Chain A
Amino acid sequence: MSKSLLWRILRGFGMFWWDFLVGDTPELFVSTVFILAITAVISEVGHQHSGAVVVFLPVLVVASLVISVTRAVRTARA
């Protein structure tokens, strides 16, 4: 396989995942990474059995949806 063909395949693969995960909603990508990082920290310090993370995780997910919709509404009305 030539170097340029390999590069094109890798670039296409990378572009596909970039469009798929980031695309025109970078706020959803960033908020998901943030949510997972927060959950990892809470779990790491030994609170995985507490109710806090069970409540926080869905609440943060809903918050990220609301933030993204609010951003889209503002853009649509601008």
Chain B
Amino acid sequence: MSENGTLLEVSDLVTRYPVARGVIGTIARRPRLQVHAVEGVTFSVGAGEMLALVGESGCGKTTTAQTVMRMVEEDSGQIRFRGRDLTGLSHRDLRPIRREMQIIFQDPYESLDPRFRVRDTVEEPLLIHGGGSAAERTEKITEALVRAGLTPPDLYVNRYPHELSGGQRQRVAIAAALVLEPKLLVADEPVSMLDVSVRAGILSLLDELRKSGLGILMITHDLSTAAHFADRIAVMYLGRIVEEGPAREVVRSPRHPYTKALVSVVPKRDPRDRTVPQILKGETPNPVHVPPGCRFHPRCPIAIDACQGTDPALEPVPGGGAEHRGACIRM
């Protein structure tokens, strides 16, 4: 996929973390273990598109985002941003690229410096990236606040985080990300710390930004949010994308048994929609010891013997569009 408009192309990305052995482990020369956080992930995000990476804790979605943002070093694979491979680039070479890809985090209570006024928070990226004269900076700050929905901006520029609500804080974080006019925004669980009544506002804001041409990679555990706001959904399990496709299609006709189970346990708003949840036994295995073959087979309700020996690749689902892909030999 390198058609026009593709911003980010990630291919075969692998990120592992070493497990600390401790003093005794080192002396005893225990084997060096690794957390297989991301194990061969491929996806792309286009301009004006929102891709949601969905999965449970420990599935590797946040590590994927952090690797893309170069906050974590990958083990192998490629991260092409606007055609250029970012892996192996020096800090110096990354700098001009960094302003084009920005990230916002889950907790706007922790991601903002409590001693910084809104103005300082939004100005900081400009100072780091040499953002013009004081007057130009002020103009850019005002513009970013307006885009983030903090209007009138004069009401907010001199406030401290503790004077703002959770939703307003997340908007400040978004303004600080927008002030450099990035092409790609990574949103890591942008609303999970917020009250229900304000979540929709933040998500609608991201939706508007997407419509204005920003590419958005959203990390979320909430399939309902992804179904509503993303163009495409990629479902991750134990470091792999197990299913990917147009958001509505993935949710309404899931093909991978893990996605099917996940969809079935999401509570629906309408009590009449109560479905029989297909509850998987146990919890996601530890990513230090990934099961052989298909990594989902020990919990899979339809696994057969062959599943233990084959590690299925992501392929177009039978009878679906080319865009809809799944990694299961039983699809």
Q: Do A and B come from one complex?
A: no
Chain B contacts to A: CB under 8 angstroms:
none
